[in-house]
Structure 1
């Protein structure tokens, strides 16, 4: 275990509930969300309209060939476990086909729950970061409060100000990032301070960052679309909200990066030499990627 990602009493299975479990979901992402015919989706679909590939058992009929059939966006999306929470807890296992009167409300609650579960993912990680110990009390409180919100009934979830809650949590996550990256700078005896710095939302579309030393970089919300990050060192870099669509991560080291998600990896390109945090998995399509 690294110094940054130290086990600080967070249950090992705490993130399992924040990973999509399609077997216990009523295909909510396949119905609730809209999409338009683009490079990511082969067809147009309105919110609340079941995808043409959704089967009666809520499974995808083309799951094993989504990318080949023009549904790359489906392979990138991650609900952070919100789908099964709504299906099995919020609506008590009653699906929208059996209870069509609940369908509209279920679909409206889904994106709210997804936001809450994403915050749980980040907060759970923040509590494993040793340099953030000074604010672990506040982080624990935010984690408990966010978990409490996920157990509200549908009406209460729709009435809550999720944007305000996100803002409060994001302030804590930003402070976490500052503490972790400052510690990395101290460990590197100031060398990180001489590296190029970036502002939030930096435009790095198509940037040549091959082999770049990005340890401790603030890449929050950075646009890294189609960037060349082959062999880059992204340890202790803050990657929250960074757009990795078609970014080339072959051989990159993301092992101690902070606030990286599965969806970001799913949107990128990589290979067997890409080093990942233990909580994330290597996307299956990486094995077929060729330059």
Structure 2
């Protein structure tokens, strides 16, 4: 691709060169006609004379001789460490004895994607997808969250007093259903994650999504005990929903609802210190 300020495209270069080589125009006349310098006109005429039409394309500006380029052995070590340990340019630079900018250039030159674009477990590029229509797939998961005792927990009282004050507080179970296409989410704070509770949540979530104009066709859950029982299967059948399960030990499959739970914790549960679980519940609907 030509530089955005280049006066000639490949077609323009070819026209200039043909005027000089084929039609016998003087270089200065051709340069004036095409609004370029005399040396530019001479360059394209020479390339056309030597290489023909193929010589009109851009060439790399990389020098033919690079005595200071990183040795191939070091470059291969950088790539091997990145592949095996999935570490960034700074740590690669320390291990290989090179500058971080050099490690970054090696990764870029070899087309290695950034760590943020890789799956942490496998090191493979993340394959993102989105269902074609609302309701085609709804992700469901439960996030277990410690309840806050009256008077506050360790975030309010400190570690020692918070530990003494937390006796018998129990856990909250955040059940979430998230539509794959629209990212619309429905969450309830429930007392447990038993099969009847999960099934009842699905019924309410289905009704709520219906008020938003979304009919649930499939649900995707992990392989937790509650989702493998007949209670869950029977509820799905009664609602006309097809149940699906993630591959064992592969939470990334249900990553959209997992990521929503992280956002929920950051922007609600841990957004500020609460003095009681009731106070945090009051802020939940916000």
**Larger of the two Rg values belongs to structure:** 2
- TM-score category by the smaller chain? under 0.3
What's the TM-score, normalizing by structure 2?
A: 0.21
Q: Is the strand fraction higher in 1 or 2?
A: 2
